């Protein structure tokens, strides 16, 4: 159930959201800078010039790990963008499942969250049952 109305938020919520917005912007900036560094490193031909096959295999394994990590970071950047969009729309901090406010402490700890703690707990329990 998606939130359809603006839910009353606690006093000082707007100021806390502004701090969270700045934190999200900074996280995104850092992730993009790191990703750019990875791209520049992977285009450097000197890195790939290993005479030993074991060293080449190790370097390839390291590069594969870094690329998987960057894939996760790319998905996190997408979540950051979605959170910023919800802030701009005025729906940030509203649980996408039940429509109730998400606790400020949860938002501060996990700014990209879309679920309140109760709905997230229920979701995790359901996932455990499916396994």
Reduce the DSSP state of residue 94 to 3 states and report it. strand
The pLDDT profile of the chain, 131 residues, written as one tens digit per residue, is: 444 445 566 678 889 999 999 999 999 999 888 877 766 665 555 555 667 777 777 777 777 777 777 788 889 999 999 999 999 999 999 999 999 999 999 999 999 999 999 999 999 999 999 98
Q: What does the pLDDT read at residue 53?
A: 75
User: Which residue range forms the structural domain that includes residue 55?
Assistant: 10-92
Query: Which pairs count as long-range contacts for 26-30, CB under 8 Å and 24+ apart, including other chains?
Result: 27/76, 27/80, 28/77, 28/80, 28/81
User: Are 97 and 84 part of one and the same domain?
Assistant: no
Number of domains in the chain: 2
In a domain, 5, yes or no: no
User: Are 44 and 85 part of one and the same domain?
Assistant: yes
User: Are 59 and 78 part of one and the same domain?
Assistant: yes
pTM of the model: 0.72
In a domain, 1, yes or no: no
């Amino acid at each position: 159930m998606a939130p359809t109305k603006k839910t009353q938020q606690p006093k000082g919520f707007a100021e806390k959201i502004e701090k969270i917005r700045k934190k999200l912007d900074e996280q995104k900036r850092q992730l993009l800078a790191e990703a750019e560094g990875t791209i520049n490193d992977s285009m450097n031909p000197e890195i790939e010039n290993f005479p030993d096959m074991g060293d080449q295999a190790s370097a390839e394994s390291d590069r594969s790990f870094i690329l998987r990590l960057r894939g996760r970071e790319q998905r996190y950047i997408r979540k950051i963008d979605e959170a910023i969009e919800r802030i701009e729309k005025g729906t940030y901090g509203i649980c996408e499942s039940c429509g109730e406010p998400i606790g400020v402490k949860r938002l501060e700890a996990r700014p990209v969250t879309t679920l309140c703690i109760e709905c997230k707990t229920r979701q995790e329990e359901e996932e455990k049952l499916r396994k």
